[in-house]
Structure formats: C-alpha cells, structure tokens
A and B are shown apart, each in its own frame.
Chain A
Amino acid sequence: MPGCKISPNRADQIVSNVRMDKNDHAAVRAVLAGDKEAYGALVVHHSHRLFRLAFRITGNETDAEDVVQEAFLRGYQKLESFESRADFGTWIYRIAVRCALDRIGGRRMDESSRVAEETDPELDEVQVADLAAGPDRLLLSSEIRAMQEMAMHNLTSTERTAFMLRHMEDCSTDEIAAALEIQPNAAKQAVFRAVHKLRRRLAPMMVRI
C-alpha cells in the first residue's frame, strides 16, 4: 500500500516501485488483452511482499504461501474490475488481507476460548527467566519473543491484522480500514484495543526486564 512499508531499504524500493507501478499497469492491460504470461510479471514482483503480509496475519509459513497463491488467483479472476487509476500493489494487498483473514477464520472459535483465558488473572502471572538466575540472554530473548507471539495470537484477527498493519507495515488508519473493509474509526479502535491488550498481557515481563 502506498503509505505502508515495503522493505527496510526504503529509497531504492520506492524508486523501484514507481517504475513498477507503470509496468504494473502495462502488465494488467496486456493480461486483459489476452497475454496471460504478463500476469507472471505481476506475481513475481508482488509475491515476496504478499508472503510477508500473509505470514504476519496467519503466523504460519504454509498458510502464508497458500494465501499468496489464492490472492493472485482471486486477483486474476477479478482483474477486469481493477480500475486503471488504482495501484495494483494496493489492490492485490487488500485481496491478500482478505484471503489471510478468511484462512484464519476457522480459528475464531479458538479465539473465544483465548478471551476466556485472557480474563483469568492467574494466567497473567507470566513465567519469564530471571536475569539473576543465569546469564543466557539468548534464552531470555527467545522466551520474550514467544510471549509476544502468544500475546499477539490472543488478539482477535481484526485486532491482530490492524495492529500488524499499523505497527509493522506502517499503514495509515484509512489504509487499514480499506484493507479490512471496515470504517476508519473501527480500524482505529481495533489498533487501540490491540495495543492495550498487548501491553496488559506483556506488562509483567516488561517490568522484570
């Protein structure tokens, strides 16, 4: 998405993307004119970015790869509805978000149990390795990361996706709202709730560090 991060090496990437936007439009026209292979160029250009996005939403490598394939498949099928004024990258990004959310939709049943778990005060007592107990910071770091991942997966899919788009992809509220197909205010609230829950969940660990 235009306002979202694409990769750490920003300047080169942005220049490259501007060039690619023009190529994207040419490729879309070629595909619609009957050149199926032109879609291959779009897939090659956007698949890495879509994989990162899909992985962050699904948290699973296999699911992320499936999401990428499904997003490009849906994109191809809907290519006639793609407006030439729009950015193909933004468009396929939104499709990928939907695919990823659909993919994890089956896990929503589990999320309700996670909410119950979250409200259990005993579970807020996070067991984290004490610095005084040993010098192995690598182990501590991996434990912290695991706790953060667990905290992330305790969020609802909308909260997790909104937070991920905001915190990691640097997307604006409007971009998040568009990707999730919700109102901007709802997108903002989803980010607020995600941050609030993460902080509360990770607070004990933060204090000890």
Chain B
Amino acid sequence: MKHLSEEELIEQYYSKGEGAAATRQHLKGCAECAEAYAALGSDLAEMEFAEPPARDASYGERVWESLSRSLPAYEARKWSWLRGGLGMGLSYAAACALLVVGAFFAGRLWEQRQAQNSAAIHPQQTQQPVAQPQERVVLVVLSDHLDRSERLLVELKHADADSAEMVSPLRDEARGLLAANRICRQNAEKIDDPALTTALDRLDHVLGELANQPGGLNGATIARLQEEMNANGLLFEVRVLRSRIPDQQAGGKDRSTGGTI
C-alpha cells in the first residue's frame, strides 16, 4: 500500500478534513498514515504564535489623520480622470475610423480579387465586356470607312473622265480615306481576316491611285481604275463586307472584323 506523503497530509489538514475523498478513505484504512496525520495535527495545533499587540479603537483614525495630510486632493484628479475619459473616447473614435477605412479597403481588395478569380475561372466571359467597347469602336470605324469607300467607288464608277469638277473631290476624298484604310487593313491582318485584308488591299491600291497620281488625276487614269474596279468586283466586295458588320454588332460569333486598332 502506498502511504500518504507529508504534503498530502498537510493539504488534508488545512482543508479541515474536507480534502480529497481518496485521502480521507486512505486515512480510515491505514493506521500508519492516520498516526502521522494525528501527529501533524498535534504539532500544528500546538504552534502558538504571539498575537499582534492590540490597537486601541482610535488607531484607524490616527492612521487616517497621519495619511490625510499627505494625500493629494482627488478633486484635481477628477479632471485628469475626465481627460483620461476624453482621451479614451478619442482613442475609441480613432480606432473605429481606422476600422471603417480598413474595412473599406479590404472590401475593395476583396472585390478586385473576386474579379481576378472570376477572370481566371471564366476568362472568355470576363474578357468580352472589356473587349466589347473597343470592338464596337472598330466596327463603327470600319463600317464608316466601308460606307465612305463604297460611296467613293460609286462616284468613281459613274465619274466622267473628262470632267475636271469630278476629279478634285474624288482625289480629296481618296486622300482622306487612305489613312483610315491602312489602319483597317492592319487590323484585318492582325485578326487574321483574309477576305477583309484582300478587299482593303485592293481598296488601298485604288485610293492610292486616286490620291497620289503623279501629275494629278486625268481621264485616262479614271477610266483605267473604272475598268479595274469592274473587273475585280471591288465595289461589290465592299458592299458585302459592309453588310457583314450589322450582324457582328448584333452579337455574331464571327470576329473577322473584331480586335483593336
């Protein structure tokens, strides 16, 4: 049988016999430990220490009398208390403001990350809205260019080669369209649209002839261009291309005219 240690006996003694049930049970069954416990109780009970000397009834008042002179007035502290309260209030307000600002930026960050995650999951869906405005601009520019080019070609087709009045406007219009045509052609190459590229290439040739003919436009040049245009069906081709654009604007899948300039 394992006997109780002195520590367990001391703990039992100071718990006034209400200690651990196991210890009490052991003391009931173990004569040796019960004897040790009784000896401990006897030793501690016999310890008599000098009682503190008695203080008279006015002792507390004397203590207060000696203290009160040295204690600072709490009235002054009341203000510091208030200042402390104000400081605490301001601290709380600053903490709240910081929290709100933090929450705002956290929200912004979260929103951005959500957008990035969404882009990673559905790249096509997220790219489309970004690309759409540019694509619309390109479509409008191309549509306008083809429209103007068609009108120019119609005028060229019906131009009187001998009329000087007809020549000058054609040349000016061709010069105006030339730059736009080159941009549209570059874009068509970029988006790998061979039909559009070829058409714009032919158009570029015609516009170049009209705009930059050495010595100015003459009847022979106009007649030659009319023949070429009739032969390769450039006007028809431009009309076809122009007719494709409204379908694409309506959401057609063909991205031949899409992309950025």
Contacts and interface: CB of A to CB of B under 8 A. Distances in A.
Contact of A148 (B11, B14, B48, B63): B48
Interface stretch (B49-57, B140-148, B192-200): B49-57
B25 interface: no
B59 A51 contact: yes
18 contacts: A33-B74, A35-B74, A36-B74, A43-B60, A44-B60, A47-B55, A47-B64, A51-B55, A55-B52, A56-B52, A61-B53, A69-B66, A148-B47, A195-B40, A195-B44, A199-B43, A202-B47, A206-B43
A148 B49 contact: yes
Interface in B11-57: 11, 14, 40, 42-44, 46-50, 52-53, 55
A202 B49 CA distance: 13
Given A145-B48, A145-B49, A192 B7 contact: yes
Interface in B71-127: 71, 73-75, 77-78, 81
B70 interface: yes
Given A33-B78, A34-B78, A148-B47, A196 B6 contact: yes
Contact of B64 (A43, A168, A198): A43
Contact of B50 (A40, A64, A145): A145
Interface string A63-77: 011001100110010
B60 A48 contact: yes
Contacts of A145: 48-50
Contacts of B46: 206, 209
B14 A166 contact: yes
B50 A47 contact: no
B48 A192 contact: no
Contacts of B66: 69
Contact of A47 (B14, B43, B63, B78): B63
Nearest to B14: A166
How many B residues are at the interface, by size bracket?
20 to 34
A55 B59 CA distance: 14
B70 A195 contact: no
B49 A55 contact: no
Contact of A188 (B11, B49, B63, B67): B11
Contacts of B53: 55, 61
Contact of B71 (A73, A152, A202, A206): A73
A191 interface: yes
B81 A36 contact: no
Contacts of A195: 6, 10, 40, 44
Interface string A179-209: 0000000001001100110110010001001
A185 B6 CA distance: 16
A48 B55 contact: yes
B49 A192 contact: no
Contact of A44 (B14, B61, B74): B61
B163 interface: no
A149 B49 contact: yes
A55 B64 CA distance: 19
B63 A191 contact: no
Interface in A57-111: 61, 64-65, 68-69, 72-73, 76, 80
A39 B64 CA distance: 8
A52 interface: yes
Given A33-B74, A39-B68, A168-B49, 16 more contacts: A34-B73, A34-B75, A43-B63, A44-B60, A44-B61, A47-B63, A51-B52, A51-B55, A56-B52, A69-B63, A80-B81, A145-B48, A188-B11, A206-B42, A206-B43, A209-B46
A209 B47 CA distance: 13
B60 A31 contact: no
A39 B71 CA distance: 10
Contacts of A126: none
Given A69-B63, A73-B70, A192 B52 contact: no
